[in-house]
Amino acid sequence: MLQFLLRSVGLGIATAALLLVAVPSLRTNILPQDVPEDRSIDNLSQISFNKAVRKAAPAVVNIYSRKYTEKDRSKLLTQGLGSGVIVSEKGYIITNYHVVAQADQIIVALQDGRVAAAQLVGKDRRTDIAILRVEGDNLPVIPLNPDYSPIVGDVVLAIGNPYNLGQTTTFGIISATGRSSISADGHQAFIQTDAAINEGNSGGALVNTRGELVGINTASFQQATELETYGISFAIPYALANKIMQKIIADGRVIRGYIGIDGQDINSVTSRLLGSEHLGGIVVLGVDPNGPAANAGFEPQDIILKINDQKINGRQSVMDIVTELRPGTVVDVLILRKGKEQTLQVTIEEDTRD
């Protein structure tokens, strides 16, 4: 019996050895393989945004606003600092209005060591945008992509000069879009991010992982509310900043259309009662007695449906359409009043509110 067992075991071992020699691929599943000595985390794929930073950072400048002293008008003292973004080979720079609002002289320092006095082309307090211009050859321009639309979850980098420490890059994601509650008039929509934005970052660039300009860093939540919070900062979307820049370059200031109404989006219950064809309309809550809408015959509770045959989609779309219209333009506004549609003609005036 013992001889039979030993013979069976020996035969099994011999058969296994023969199979391992005949079929080498079996060895990898049975025999342990040597682990290469250089297999370490350094040789694994490493996430880095260096390429994006190298594309965008040269176009982000430091801005120093200087002001004459009260006692000696011949002396200029630096009284504020911020950042700006070169967006054109012609030397146009987008920054924040509050960075240069009180400046008698504006100095721009490029990352390549060049320093120049900047010309203030124009500013817009409502959107907190100012446009500067510097002279120079081979100016770095930040990558621009008009087709990019920021969405929640996108990784972004904030580049600026916080506390005058020198150019600094912070990292985060877009945590919300369309934030209007912190704007002065409650209308302007900000990008919200958790990338750190501190004093001196204002006017700097918020870029995506391709180095393309996403927005102009403008405020942190604690600056806006005087609350000590972390991870909530805001930027002006590039699309809006670019629109304001084009207006300032064309006219030296931002000219906005005005009709003089205050409205509210129709809620879901009202829209069902009115019918799907009226979805997106807004209810007029108030009318400026001295404004164009009052002259055209608007009344509270009117429902605005279309402007110049363009179907509206809520309160924000009405503002966007009207502000783009030049003063003096006559538009047809389709309204619903007491269940009946009618068209009112409104002559657009310039919005002179600050």
Residues classed as catalytic: 98, 128, 202
Distance CA 264, CA 322 (A): 15
306 vs 328: CA distance, rounded Å: 19
151 φ, ψ to 5°?
A: -130, 155
CB contact at 8 A, 123 and 103: no
Q: How far is CA 220 from CA 28, 98, 130, 345, in A?
A: 57, 14, 18, 42
Q: Coil, strand or helix: which one is 114? A: coil
In whole angstroms, how far apart are CA 106 and each of 169, 235, 307, 336? Answer: 23, 22, 42, 52
CA distances to 116, 261, 265, 303, 352 from 285, in Å: 50, 8, 10, 9, 21
Give the DSSP H/E element, type plus range, for residue 335.
strand 330-337
Question: Which residue bears the tokens 């007029």?
Answer: 284
Give the closest residue to 56 by CA, choosing from 240, 210, 198: 210
- What do you get for the CA distance between the two ends of the chain, in Å? 106
Residue from 301, 61, 48 nearest 204 by CA: 61
